[in-house]
């Protein structure tokens, strides 16, 4: 039985009616009024509603379109005659960026961009081997480590395409619709699904979750972990109504059972405990994806934060219960992810060196490598970052998300800026706190960026780093700055301080929060405290 659009829609409605009830429970998280809508549509509808009401979002999407795709759908270094690290060998992962063309084309009504994205997907599957992986040239780029990025983005794009009006349209030169090309026409024709299942089975069969696993290097990488979760999750979603996928694969269950268990393993690696570390790869309190390693120390990375936010938004929207099972609210996760990323987007270059917008890369690290203070600045993935902030805007009615992304839409429009003062990045919807007179308040944690200094390769808390809170009600105090270092093998790279105490005077107070480091004082943030 084929996947039907109506079935997908009804399952989505049920999932998000359930989610809407769960996220109102204060035991899970605080969800501000108007910021946690009841999702009654698909991911496509979520973004389509934004594009129809926000012209900046529509223009922003034009900047995610991948170029460098030939008439056969070959992209990047896979194109004949284009020299690079892959050519003349075919690397499926080189095809992944073109999948974004499907998202943009479906939302902005571009037949040409949907077609180019579709061709990039089928071009890879035309080079699939009998084993399920992909090969071309002399075969240097075969195997699981050379196809997970492609499968993640293409599986997601195909699901997105099926949700859109383009599912019922036909690409140029074909008498079949995109839905028929993906799911088949019946009578034993299953379109692209047999090839997708062969690729998914190859990934399952080569996965050991041990040192011999070709994806073992992904255990400590937040973004690669989410790539793998997305790959398995959306592969499962595409194949759930494909009869051969429902058959037994091995002693652990059906093909579908194996895809689900693999997806959940990677979600656990991200949000509960990494296979490489006794900690999650994402900080559960503030939504930051930790980057670095045990030799160089841990921090964050603005570009990788964008990638992680985008992939988690995809997964959390489509599989919210998987995130809930880790003890986290999927909405809160994406919200905190996006808030931190948005705060790294600066309206201008604060150094005055250019007239461009700025991207704050202070204290940036990369998985396995420390960059910034070694004189090597990280890049910024504006495609993933722009899409991440688009989802942030669509989910939480945060127009500053797409506004920030549009200002940073291409490298020519932004400058990477290092050695900056800190930014308070608390959830903007939690900047109003209501307390009871003469009753002890729960600790309110203030979070600040750019608190570290590097010494002998490790990150330590900047001794000049302070967080201030002026205008506190009588009885409340702000404690000293601290960090995550104690016993967690983490760097002191996020400065924190707690407001605690017993308010003794009723009233409404505007508290000004500000952080300062060795480079100076950052912008202030207002916290409203109401004492009843």
Write the DSSP assignment of 2-66 as a string of letters: ---HHHHHHHHHHHHHHHHHHTT-TTT----TTTS----S-HHHHHHHHHHH-HHHHHHHGGG--
What residues contact residue 517 under an 8 Å CB cut-off, 6+ apart?
Answer: 421, 422, 450, 451, 462, 464, 465, 495
Confidence of residue 323 (pLDDT cuts 50, 70, 90): very high
326: preceding bond cis by omega (within 30 degrees):
no
Whole-number pLDDT of residue 489: 42
Q: Identify the pLDDT of residue 141.
A: 83
Q: What average pLDDT score do residues 12-23 get?
A: 32
Q: Is the pLDDT of residue 118 over 60?
A: yes
| Rounded mean pLDDT, 302-326 | 94
Distance of CA 11 to the CA centre of its chain: 23
pLDDT at 74: 94
Beta partners for residue 345, in sequence order? 359
pLDDT of res. 355? 92
Cα distances (Å, whole numbers) of residue 68 to 63, 466, 513: 14, 48, 47
Q: Where are the beta strands (DSSP E) in 277-342?
A: 291-293, 297-299
Check pLDDT > 60 for residue 487.
Answer: no
Token digits of residue 312: 């988690």
Confidence of residue 1 (pLDDT cuts 50, 70, 90): very low
**Residue 86 pLDDT:** 73
Partners of 468 in beta bridges: 514
Residue 56 pLDDT > 80: yes
Cβ contact 116:69 at 8 Å = yes
């Amino acid at each position: 039985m084929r996947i039907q659009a109506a079935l997908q829609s009804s399952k989505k409605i049920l999932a998000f009616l359930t989610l809407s009830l769960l996220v109102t429970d204060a035991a899970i998280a605080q969800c501000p009024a108007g910021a946690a809508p009841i999702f009654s549509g698909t991911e496509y509808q979520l973004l389509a509603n934004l594009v129809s009401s926000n012209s900046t979002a529509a223009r922003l999407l034009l900047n995610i379109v991948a170029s460098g795709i030939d008439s056969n759908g070959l992209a990047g270094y896979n194109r004949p005659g284009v020299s690079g690290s892959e050519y003349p060998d075919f690397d499926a992962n080189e095809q992944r960026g073109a999948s974004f063309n499907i998202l943009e084309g479906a939302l902005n009504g571009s037949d040409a961009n949907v077609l180019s994205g579709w061709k990039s997907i089928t071009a890879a599957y035309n080079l699939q081997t009998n084993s399920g992986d992909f090969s071309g040239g002399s075969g240097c780029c075969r195997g699981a480590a050379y196809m997970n990025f492609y499968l993640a983005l293409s599986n997601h794009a195909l699901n997105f395409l099926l949700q859109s009006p383009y599912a019922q349209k036909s690409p140029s030169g074909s008498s079949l619709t995109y839905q028929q090309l993906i799911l088949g026409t019946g009578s034993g024709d299953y379109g692209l699904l047999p090839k997708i299942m062969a690729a998914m089975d190859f990934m399952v069969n080569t996965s050991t979750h041990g040192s011999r696993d070709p994806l073992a290097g992904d255990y400590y990488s937040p973004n690669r972990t989410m790539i793998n979760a997305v790959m398995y999750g959306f592969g499962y979603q595409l194949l759930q109504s494909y009869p051969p996928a429902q058959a037994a694969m091995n002693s652990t269950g059906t093909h579908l059972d194996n895809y689900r268990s693999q997806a959940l393993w990677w979600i656990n690696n991200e949000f509960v405990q990494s296979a490489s570390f006794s900690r999650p790869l994402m900080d559960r309190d503030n939504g930051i994806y930790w980057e670095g390693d045990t030799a160089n120390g841990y921090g964050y990375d603005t570009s990788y934060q964008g990638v992680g936010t985008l992939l988690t938004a995809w997964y959390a929207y489509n599989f919210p219960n998987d995130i809930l099972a880790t003890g986290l609210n999927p909405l809160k996760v994406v919200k905190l992810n996006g808030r931190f990323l948005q705060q790294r987007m600066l309206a201008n270059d604060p150094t005055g060196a250019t007239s461009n917008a700025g991207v704050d890369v202070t204290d940036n690290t990369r998985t396995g490598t420390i960059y910034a203070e070694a004189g090597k600045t990280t890049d910024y993935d504006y495609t993933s970052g722009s899409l991440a902030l688009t989802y942030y805007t669509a989910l939480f009615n945060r127009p500053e998300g797409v506004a920030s992304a549009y200002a940073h839409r291409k490298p020519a429009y932004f400058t990477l800026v290092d050695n900056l003062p800190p930014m308070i990045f608390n959830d903007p919807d939690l900047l109003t706190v209501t307390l009871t007179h003469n009753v002890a308040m729960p600790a309110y944690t203030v979070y600040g960026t750019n608190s570290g200094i590097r010494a002998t390769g490790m990150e330590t808390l900047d001794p000049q780093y302070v967080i201030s809170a002026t205008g506190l009600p009588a009885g409340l105090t702000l404690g000293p700055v601290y960090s995550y270092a104690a016993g967690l093998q983490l760097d002191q790279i996020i400065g924190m301080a707690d407001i605690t105490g017993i308010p003794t005077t009723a009233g409404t107070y505007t508290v000004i929060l500000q952080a300062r480091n060795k480079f100076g004082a950052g912008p202030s943030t207002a916290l409203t405290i109401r004492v009843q």
